[in-house]
Amino acid sequence: MFFLEKFFFVNCFEPDLIKCQDKNTVIIYRNYGKIDNITEIINLKNFCKKHYFKLILANNIKLALKLGINGAYLPSFNQRFCHLSYSFRKDFILLGSAHDHKEINIKKKQKVKIIFLSSIFKKNKNYLGLNKFTNYVNSSDNKFVALGGITNNNLKKIKLTKAIGFAGITYFKKKGPC
C-alpha cells in the first residue's frame, strides 16, 4: 500500500484540532502575521511531544534549533542562505516551498530535504495542475509534497505523481474537532 506523508499548517495553537489528526501528521506552525509568540510555540511543542506529533517551525531556523523543535520550514519568499552556517542536529529536518523551477533551484541551494510544490489543484496565481506538477517532480531528484486544493476526492491523483505526501490547511480542519 502506498503511503502519503501529511503536513498540517497551523497559525495558532488549537489542541482540539491537532489532537484529531492522524499520529503521522506533521504540524507546521507558521504565523507570518505577527512576531513569534515564544510561549505559544513552547506550549505547542510540549503538546506535540506529548501526543507524538512532529513539529516544524516556519521561517525561523534559529528559534527552531534553540527550542529543540523537529525542524524548520522555509517559505518560497525566504531566499536567504545564512542558515547554511548553522550546526544542525542529526534529526533536524529542513523543508521549503516553491512554485517553479527557479524557486526549486533556490530550495536545493538552501539544502532543504523536502520541497512543497504548489499549487497542484487550487486554481490561483501559482496553479500548476497535475501534469506540470508531475513534470517538476520528475525533473528533480528531490522529495516533493503536493500543496494547494487537496481534498479526499483528489488524493488518489497525488498518488499518480512521485510526491511523497501532501500539505494543507482546509483538508485537516475538516477532520476536527473530534
Q: pLDDT below 50 — which residues of the chain?
A: 1
Answer for the pair 160, 134: CB distance below 8 angstroms, yes or no.
yes
Locate 58 and state its grid cell.
516556519
Q: What is the pLDDT of residue 95?
A: 97
The whole-number pLDDT of residue 152 equals 87
**Structural domains present in the chain:** 5-173 (3.20.20.70)
pLDDT in the model for residue 32: 76
Q: Report pLDDT for 75.
A: 95
Q: Give residue 178's pLDDT.
A: 55
Exposure pattern of 130-150 as b/e (b: 16+ CB <10 Å)?
Answer: eeebbebbeebebbbbbbbbb
Residue 175 has what pLDDT? 66
**pLDDT for the residue numbered 6:** 95
Largest CA distance in the chain: 43
pLDDT at residue 2 in the model: 53
